[in-house]
Amino acid sequence: MQHAVAVKSSSSWFDLNLDLSNSQLSDEEKQAKKQLKASLKHQRKVQKLETRIQHAISRNDPIVEQSAREELDELLRNNDILQHQMQQVKASNDEQYDESMLLVRDIFHRLLSVFDKKEQSFSKAEQIQRAKDLLHHMTKGTQALTMFQDVTALRGYTRKKFYSRAGLVVESLGKLSPEQSSLSNKKDVIDACWKNLERINRVCSIGCGPGCDAVGLLAFLKGYVPNHNSSMHFILLDYAMEEWEDAVLDDLEPILTKSFASTVTCEHCDVTIPLLEKHAHLIEAKKAKEGAIFFFAEPLPWQLHRLIRMSAPDSDPSPLQRLRFAWIDSSMNHPELQELDGRAGGPAILLAIKN
């Protein structure tokens, strides 16, 4: 059986036959073949571990289930790092991406300089070391509010994650540009989002942490939407908001307000309980208007698959039925991969726009 796959070169698309010998391929085709085979191999490993987990659950075997989950977490984590490095190299040829990431780097370094003045008793290495336990629990979803009361750990988390998380927003939204979205099977959704981003002036970040998503969006607009001149209003929500403000956000806010004419509102928000009436402006933000854009990012896509199912016409009446979705992760141009429980590179990222 022959395996032919469409692969994009720098200027066009060509059909890559995986059964052809390397001597029959150009250097560009050889590299594409190597990357594609690695991606397919990784996907098979992910599917094998997911099957093992399902079998363990059906047999009520928690030991095998836990072992398989840990192996899957490690596999996805290692692949995430590799893919991010590859995407950084690929995207480095994009002047818009470079301009956006220069802004992320500038804000990040200004933030770190403030940390260095305040954290004279703790080295950078110590800050990151104290963040490791928090990162472990956040990966497993077992974090408690008390874990966020260590200011040094939160600043270590910021050192370790801020730049890459902001870069993920830039990289993901950059895929909406007409040059990159031409093959998506949801091009109508992506085109609508791209058009609306030119007019965006208010952003609500739920589970904002140190504010990296807000910075990523601001940098994206500066690099990719040069005609965007609106001042931004960022509404940052987190259930550990007081802790994040003390550790990071009180230092980030003046950078955004003074240098980028942005306003920042920070509020406590626990997504497991309803918003209180006293937070009227947050309730208003919750009632998104037509054309509002939603950006969802999760390590694995199962929650996002559930979100899509909840929006189906035959589900219970819900505002979700007015959302149109498009995947903008590694499965963006491969509909056959979008229903899988894993992604070939990086986290699962889902975009939605409200009708």
Is 286 in contact with 319 (CB distance < 8 Å)?
no
- Take residue 230 and report the two structure tokens written for it: 């609106």
- Looking at residue 252, its pLDDT comes to 96
**176 in the same domain as 263:** yes
Chain centroid to CA 70: 21
3-state secondary structure of 113: helix
- Looking at residue 92, its pLDDT comes to 42
Is 8 in contact with 28 (CB distance < 8 Å)?
no
Q: Which of 64, 91, 118 is the last residue of a domain?
A: 91
- Looking at residue 178, its pLDDT comes to 83
Nearest partner of 350 among 310, 292, 298, judged by Cα: 298
Q: Which of 40, 61, 91 is the last residue of a domain?
A: 91
State the Cα angle at 236 between 78 and 248, rounded to 5°.
70
**155 in the same domain as 81:** no
Q: Which positions ≥6 away from 149 have C-beta within 8 Å?
A: 243
Range of the domain at 115: 95-287
Tally of domains in the chain: 3
**308 in the same domain as 180:** no
- Looking at residue 286, its pLDDT comes to 55
**282 in the same domain as 298:** no
- Looking at residue 274, its pLDDT comes to 65
Token pair 């990784």: residue = 42
Is 320 in contact with 292 (CB distance < 8 Å)?
no
- Looking at residue 8, its pLDDT comes to 34
pLDDT under 50 in the chain at which residues? 1-18, 89, 91-93, 278, 285
Alpha-carbon span 301 to 194, nearest angstrom:
23
pTM beyond 0.75 = no
Q: Which of 250, 267, 287 is the last residue of a domain?
A: 287
**123 in the same domain as 62:** no
- Looking at residue 210, its pLDDT comes to 96
- Looking at residue 15, its pLDDT comes to 41
